Amino acid sequence: MRGFNILLQKEFKEAWRSWKFLWIPLVFALLGMSDPLTNYYMMDILNAVGNVPEGFEMLVPELMPVDLLQASIGQFQTIGLLVMMATFVGIISKERANGMATLFYVRPISFGAYFMSKFIVMSTVSFVSIFAGFAASVYYTSILYGTLDLGALLVSFCTYYVWLLFVIAVTLMMSASFKTVIATTCGFTVIFLGQIVDMIVGMFWTISPWKLPSYGILLARGTMEMLDYWWSVIITVVLTLIFINIGIMMMKRNASSTKI
Amino acid sequence: MMEELAKVPWAVIAPLIIVQIILMIVALIDLRKIHATNGPKILWVFIILFANLIGSIAYFIVGRKQS
């Protein structure tokens, strides 16, 4: 792990200069806010949009605070992941394409340290982001609906973070293996197509990384088979580690394809 | 006027406004400092100012040219 600290500092500085530490958390905060607000003001929104017939009555289901947390996590799962992956997918391949990587590869740095410094920066950004997102969601839920149990919240937060680490590992592996365009396609395919497949035929198995976000909510509700949960967590962590190793390998192999 | 203002649920509105303003200011500062953007710069100024939340986010995702 030669020069790990220096590389880490470089990555943090870069993320800070491009405002990633500021705007990605703000986007997540907005996503967290949107669901409690729109659900609470649904009747007002319908009235304001108009075309509600006279005497129209809608039976709005009684929402529990956990339901809103689930809705917010659903938002993170689509738009949040999209933003996160789109901003970070070029983190290795773009450096290769514009020749900046050449400046690093001629030096005796270890590829493991280089890859891990990027991984750590991404996971820090995503930690801050989902912290902001959860905080915004919980703030509005507690104002408009009612308070959430702190333990349940912590559990679903940690579970979601494990899932995000998996997403980050996939993104970085793709970025190390391919050019930016192909990496974007492959990364999105693995994450989003995996979710869709899991939604459609996912009832036949109970252990998969893609199920982890919904398991966090089930855990908060208290209706979760603990055995399935732990196996899913273990498999996700193992897959994350494997993807990191593949990423480091691919980075080494593709070092020669950098533009000079 | 003051009664009208007092009737607004500030605990609900204020965080949204704050997030919106921070995003807009940061996007504008970044736009001021950056060398070149995807598309004309003046267009991004208008997008950030008038397409309120979406504009600044769109600027950060597609507007910045990294090199």
Closest CA to A20 of A98, A67, A87, A89: A87
ipTM: 0.84
Read off the pLDDT of residues A76-89 as tens digits, 9 standing for 90 and up. 999 999 989 988 88
Confidence label for A136 from pLDDT (cuts 50, 70 and 90): very high
Q: Report chain A residues whose CB lies below 8 A from the CB of B16.
A: 30, 33, 37
Question: B60 or A165: which carries more pLDDT confidence?
Answer: A165
Q: What is the pTM of this model?
A: 0.88
**Closest Cα of chain A to B12: distance in Å?**
7
- Mean pLDDT, residues A119-142: 93
Q: What is the largest CA-CA distance in chain B?
A: 52
Domain, as residue range, for B28? 2-63
Confidence label for A104 from pLDDT (cuts 50, 70 and 90): confident
- Catalogue the long-range contacts made by A205-208 (C-beta closer than 8 Å, 24 or more residues apart): A206/A232, A207/A231, A207/A232, A207/A235, A208/A232, A208/A235
Read off the pLDDT of residues B3-36 as tens digits, 9 standing for 90 and up. 777 777 777 888 888 888 988 998 899 888 888 8
Query: Mutating which of B37, B60, B61 best tests the A interface, going by the most A Cβ atoms within 10 A?
Result: B60
How many domains does chain B divide into? 1
Start-to-end CA distance of chain A, whole Å, equals 25
Confidence label for A2 from pLDDT (cuts 50, 70 and 90): low
